[in-house]
Chain A
Amino acid sequence: MTRYILIKILRSVFTLWIVVSAVFLVLRASGDPIYSVFSLGTPEATLDVFRAKWGIDKSIFEQYLIYLNDIIHGDFGTSFFDGQPAWDLVVARLPKTLLLGGTTFVISVVAGVLLGAFAALKRGTFWDRGIMTAAVASFSMPSYFLALMLILFFSLELRWLPTAGAETWKHLILPATTLGLTLSGSIARFTRSAMLEVLRKSYMRTARAKGAPRWRQIAWHALPNAAIPTVTVIGFQLGWLIGGSVVIETVFAWPGAGRLFITSVGVRDFAVVQLFILMVASTVIIANLLVDILYGYLDPRISVTGDNK
């Protein structure tokens, strides 16, 4: 187990190195930050002072080595704009992002699994078709479009909920619903197909032949088996959730790290963008590692140590 995790961590470090290098290159290839900081016609001398201060007068390769060295020492650079460490800027925005993402994730998993399982049990009925139609519709729709429709209806038409901001719990409802509808739609679909697969298995008949009541067959025999493929899918969805929240935070002016990222990309604030990407990549890697461990726990046939058949 320890060995397995060690290998995983080494691989993760390698993945992170690739992500960090790619972002570093792409950012520098996309243009000079100097023009988003200074207006045209600023004297060359001033620009040179700025360049020297931030080390962007050096060659790309030198900058890259300095950057890597800094990261290893826990220094993620400083924002061009407010001169604060990028780490402080991003971390200050994290609670809001975690609040939105966490709420969405928990609600989507619970709702998706319950609706999917329910649809599978009511296969072919009105309920099944209704839930599946809604699921497909919700995850086929672009999230910014869904967001605008919800704002139009609940904020502008009914005037129940605020359009933007993050002051009260009411502000959380619309962005979390937008993100959650898409996420729970795909989770519901996967849960349904996993459940249908499991309900056909011979061991479900064994459970019936034992005299287990219906709820017990489902809760103790079917769901633990259906959870195995579902958990994998939910793990992958986490990466999607982060990507989706960047868009949604912008639409709803939610003051999270995702919105900071969008603004920083616009002005080529290298340090902030690099740190944000690094954090997203780490989150996805950690989520996948957790899924792997959980997988071994849910399915006794799979041994994470790899020493069993």
Chain B
Amino acid sequence: MSDSLKIKSDPSDEIAQTPLLEVRGLSVVFDTPDGPQEVVDQVDLKVCAGRTLGLVGESGSGKSVTCLGVMRLLDTGGRVTSGEVMFEGRDLLKNTEEEMEALRGCKIGMVFQDPMVSLNPVRTIGWQISESLRLHRNLSKAAAKHRTMELLDLVGIPEPKTRYAEYPHQFSGGMSQRAMIAMAIACQPKLLIADEPTTALDVTIQAQILELLSDLKKELDMALILITHDLGVIAEAADDVAVMYAGRVVEEASVLDLFDNPLHHYTLGLLNSLPRIDRSVDRLNAIEGTAPPPQDFVEGCRFESRCGHCSDHCYGVRPSFNQVSATRRVACMHPREMT
């Protein structure tokens, strides 16, 4: 199949657009007592303005580390070893720390997994949200307070006046996550990165938070990167999906294509392991085995040990991307048939 022909025949809108954020060949290494370990290996990602990219994978697949690498927020011991992170025409990896500080919380906001521990326990919610505004918007105290009240209202926190002066321990999990979101969008960022924003929350609250995120995305015209291990979240909120496995992206597709016709055997395994509402099953179809830890990462296909379709080609050589259509590609030696 000719890739170039395919691209020309399918000139959909989103390719014509230059991506807001483009990650090319990003690798992240962590220094451990056993030596350096590469946990993110040559990851490519693309997010266009106004769209939601779902980054899905098991825990340890490197999705959070990829985003922390993009934000240059890796903990000590972690470092980006190669790649480019193009944002608004600049490579973030070449920025100085001061330039990154000016960008974080201003052009790129970030929401973390566990809101209860991600908020500072000794500062009021209002103080923590207005801090973003004071840092990047140079607002007066009164103006920042006024804007913070508006933000609290925008993210659906009732009685902003009272809540402004309260401390994180007085907030429920859902309310804390709303406050975290208010903090991240305070300066109307172009891009919001949400790292497992609903994982620590009750199921009923999860849906509300996802809805809030997609409402805000439309209202503020942001792009969103949604990191999750939950395909249900992806189905609900994402436009495009990148599936990560063992530090690599293995498949990229639009959300509909991915659910309709997964091309990577790992993606299919993930989809099959979802509980179905329309069918009753005695057991969920889990993928046999476990994902390898970073010290066991090989150069060849890393899914090989759990895959029923591998051959000698799968060993030793990294599976290259097969550009199936303008918006889809898969890194597998024996991808599934397009239907």
Partners in one complex: yes
Given known A201-B117, A301-B167, A301-B169, contact A209–B122 (CB-CB < 8 A): no
A174, chain B: closest CB distance, angstroms: 39
| CB pair A202 B112 closer than 8 Å | yes
Residue of A nearest to B104 (CB): A211
| Docked-complex contact B136 and A205, CB < 8 angstroms | no
Interface 0/1 of B319-332, CB less than 8 Å to A: 00000000000000
Closest to B111 in A: A209
Which residues of chain B from 130 to 187 have any CB-CB distance to chain A below 8 Å in the complex? 131-132, 135-136, 167, 169, 180, 183-184
Give per-residue flags for A193-235: 1 if the beta carbon is below 8 A from chain B beta carbons, else 0.
Answer: 0000000011101111111110010001100110010000000
A209 to chain B, nearest CB (A): 4
Say if the beta carbon of A298 comes within 8 Å of chain B.
yes
Docked Cα-Cα span, A305 to B38, in Å, equals 52
The docked-state distance in angstroms from the alpha carbon of A182 to that of B98 is 39
Residues on A with beta carbons closer than 8 Å to the beta carbon of B119: 203, 206
Contacts of B106 in A (CB 8 A): 211
Which single member of B103, B135, B180 contacts A206 (CB below 8 Å)? B180
CB proximity of B92 to chain A, nearest CB, Å: 13
Is A300 interfacial (CB 8 A cutoff)? yes
- Partner of B136 from the list A201, A203, A211, A225 (CB cut-off 8 Å) is A211
Judge whether A299 is part of the interface by a CB distance below 8 angstroms. yes
Residue numbers in A under 8 Å from B184 (CB-CB) = 209
Cβ of B112 and Cβ of A206 under 8 Å apart?
yes
Query: Does B135 lie within 8 Å of A212, measured CB to CB?
Result: yes
Complex Cα distance A244/B239, Å?
A: 69
User: CB of B272 within 8 A of chain A?
Assistant: no
Count of residues in B whose CB is under 8 Å from the partner chain: 32
CB distance from A297 to the nearest CB of B (A): 10
**B136 — which chain A residues lie within 8 A by C-beta?**
211
Known contacts A202-B112, A209-B104, A225 near B122 by CB under 8 Å: yes
B102 to chain A, nearest CB (A): 7
Bound-state CA distance A208–B183 (Å) is 12
Q: Determine the distance from Cα of A211 to Cα of B75 in the docked complex, in whole angstroms.
A: 15
Interface residue count on the A side (C-beta < 8 Å)? 23
0/1 per residue, B180-199, Cβ < 8 Å to A? 10011000000000000000
What residues of chain A lie closer than 8 Å to B123, measured between beta carbons? Answer: 220-221, 224
Query: In the docked arrangement, what's the CA distance between A212 and B102, Å?
Result: 9
Contacts of B131 in A (CB 8 A): 210, 212, 220
Q: How far is the CB of A222 from chain B (nearest CB, A)?
A: 9
Which parts of B56-112 form the interface with A (CB within 8 Å)?
71, 73, 75, 98, 100-106, 109-110, 112
Chain A, Cβ-Cβ closest to B71: A209
Q: B201 to nearest A CB, angstroms? A: 15
Bound together, the chains give a CA A120 to CA B72 distance in angstroms of 22
Q: Is B261 an interface residue (CB 8 A)?
A: no
B300 CB–A CB distance under 8 Å: no
User: What CA separation (Å) do A25 and B111 show in the bound complex?
Assistant: 65
Q: Does B295 contact A (CB under 8 A)?
A: no
B122 with A205: CB separation less than 8 A: no
Contact of B122 among A202, A212, A213, A299 (CB under 8 A): A299
For A222, give the chain B residue with the smallest CB separation. Answer: B120
Which B residues touch A220, using CB under 8 A?
Answer: 123, 131
> Are B120 and A203 in contact (CB-based, < 8 A)?
yes
Contacts of A221 in B (CB 8 A): 120, 123
- Selected from B98, B104, B117, the residue in CB contact (under 8 A) with A210 is B104
CB of A202 within 8 A of CB of B114, answer: yes
What is the bound-complex CA distance between A220 and B131, given in angstroms? 10
> How many angstroms from the CA of A187 to the CA of B23 in the assembled complex?
46
Smallest CB gap from A200: residue in B: B75
Known: A205-B73, A298-B122, A300-B121. A210 touches B112 (CB 8 A): no
The answer to whether the Cβ of B4 comes within 8 Å of any Cβ in the partner chain is: no
B12 contacts A by Cβ under 8 Å? no
- In the complex, which residue of chain A has the Cβ closest to the Cβ of B98? A213
Nearest B residue to A204 by beta-carbon distance?
Answer: B120
Nearest CB in chain B: distance from A40 CB, A: 66
Residues of B close to A300: CB separation below 8 A: 121-122, 167, 169
Given A205-B112, A300-B167, A300-B169, are A210 and B120 neighbors across the interface (CB < 8 Å)? no
Residue in A206, A216, A309 whose CB lies within 8 Å of B120: A206
Which residues of the other chain, A, contact B117 by a CB distance below 8 angstroms?
A: 201-203
User: Inside 8 A of A224's CB, which chain B residues have their CB?
Assistant: 122-123
Contact A210 B183, beta carbon cutoff 8 Å: yes
Would you give the shortest CB distance from A142 to chain B, in whole angstroms? 38
Chain B residues with CB below 8 A from A205, complex form: 73, 75, 112, 118
Residues of A at under 8 Å CB distance from B? Answer: 201-203, 205-213, 216, 220-221, 224-225, 228, 298-301, 309
Q: A207-B120, A209-B184 are in contact. List 19 more A-B contacts (CB 8 A).
A: A202-B117, A203-B119, A203-B121, A205-B118, A206-B120, A206-B128, A209-B110, A209-B112, A210-B104, A210-B135, A211-B100, A211-B102, A211-B104, A216-B135, A220-B123, A225-B120, A299-B121, A301-B121, A301-B169
Q: Chain B residues in contact with chain A, CB under 8 A? A: 71, 73, 75, 98, 100-106, 109-110, 112, 114, 117-123, 128, 131-132, 135-136, 167, 169, 180, 183-184
Q: List 17 A-B contacts (CB under 8 A).
A: A201-B117, A203-B119, A203-B120, A205-B73, A206-B118, A209-B110, A210-B105, A211-B104, A211-B135, A213-B101, A221-B123, A224-B123, A225-B120, A228-B122, A299-B122, A301-B169, A309-B169
